[in-house]
Copies of this chain bind each other. A is one copy, B any other.
Amino acid sequence: MSQQLKYKEISGGVTTPQGFLAAGVTAEIRKNGRRDVAFLYSETPAVAAAVYTQNQVKAAPVMVTQEHLAQGLAQAVVVNSGIANACTGEQGLADARMMAKLAGDALNIPAEHVAVASTGVIGEYLPMEKIESGIKEAVSLLSTEGGAAAAEAILTTDTVTKEYAVQFNLGGREVIVGGMAKGSGMIHPNMATMLAFITTDACVEQQVLKLALRWAVDRSFNNITVDGDTSTNDMVVLLANGQAGNPDFSADQPEFTLFREAIYAVCVELAKMIARDGEGASKFLEVQVKNAASEEEARIIARFIAASSLVKTAIFGEDANWGRVLSAAGASGVLFDPNLVDVYLGDLLVAAEGRGLTFDEERASAILRERNVTITVDLHQGNSLGIAWGCDLTFDYIKINADYRT
């Protein structure tokens, strides 16, 4: 949200910062022959921060990673796709611990320095022999070129890989932040998110890292929605290995603002890629709520609008149904005066002071025919902005989800 960007976008992902290696291999956990084990490794132990799903039903890898990262240190992340290892009880926990141990043993690091993540079908057990051979193969292939293969191996119903990286100057040193993410359905994070792994060679203390990650996630992954369902397996892990050699900084220095904006830049681009690749999506939706009483209220309303099935089907149908936008805002639970609200489709004002205007339906149609649609709601209640991202609700969403398990 900086007016003047102090970082620049560069091509790359998790292995673009110094000292990070990755690999992605096929262990035949997924039935379609695609890569399904991803490995991420820092040559030196990294400071770690993470956020996790707030779903009461947490998958085993979420619980194990929470335990392992409690000390704020990690050196590797191992991820499988195909099976979520959720609702798998004691066996699932033992499997997740074993997954970390196998990874640690292969690299000669403590299992506690390994984060584990899984994504896929709920309620099935991990095929541990396949996991083991996948880990061994991945470790043998670790390289600074491996980011793209790792980004592939974490996908499920996603249609594209999601990678992003930025570079900036921090205390006289060039620092890079890179990331990869997956997520396409069961996307409606609640103070946490789908899978995302972010790396940086910045030198940063763990408490500062946590603050930056929380700030960035609240404004990015937590504001995307595909279908209103919050997963059991969501996590975002951020590793900082310090290899850039920048001087240490605290949360009240300007370097912190710069750093967290770079983390935010990577998080928000990955988040938008997830919304754009939402299951069955034909359009990308950005909802801006302006002039709210607070940033949090603005985000709640923006999310409610982006999550409304009726708004999403109207976008799919290219129907300028602004009434559904106002109705969704009103159902958000946030107090505001409906008689002050303006609604824009793109830059076309379609409702003012809570009432519909006679607008140019041709212009509205042209705006809605675009692949990217922006809805702006001006509350005239204060001066805070909140943005949420989503997608339309299409026949293909139903096709994908009516028979996912089999």
Contact = CB atoms under 8 A, between A and B. Distances in A.
A406 B123 contact: no
A307 B308 CA distance: 12
Interface in A74-91: 84, 86-89
A404 B327 contact: no
Contact of A401 (B314, B339, B404): B314
A397 B314 CA distance: 12
Contact of A331 (B55, B87, B92, B397): B55
A339 B55 contact: no
Given A313-B401, A314-B402, 17 more contacts: A54-B331, A55-B330, A56-B334, A57-B354, A84-B323, A87-B323, A87-B338, A88-B355, A89-B353, A89-B354, A122-B327, A124-B356, A232-B326, A309-B309, A323-B405, A394-B398, A395-B398
Identical copies in the complex: 2
Interface string A196-218: 00000000000000000000000
B56 A402 contact: no
A308 to B, nearest CB: 6
B186 A56 contact: no
A316 B399 CA distance: 10
Given A122-B323, A316-B402, A89 B309 contact: no
Interface residues of A, number: 67
Contact of A398 (B190, B323, B331, B398): B398
Contact of A393 (B190, B321, B398): B398
Interface of A: 54-58, 84, 86-89, 92, 121-124, 185-186, 188, 190, 227-232, 307-310, 313-314, 316-317, 319-324, 326-332, 334-336, 338-339, 351, 353-356, 393-395, 397-398, 401-406
A154 B99 CA distance: 59
Nearest to A402: B317
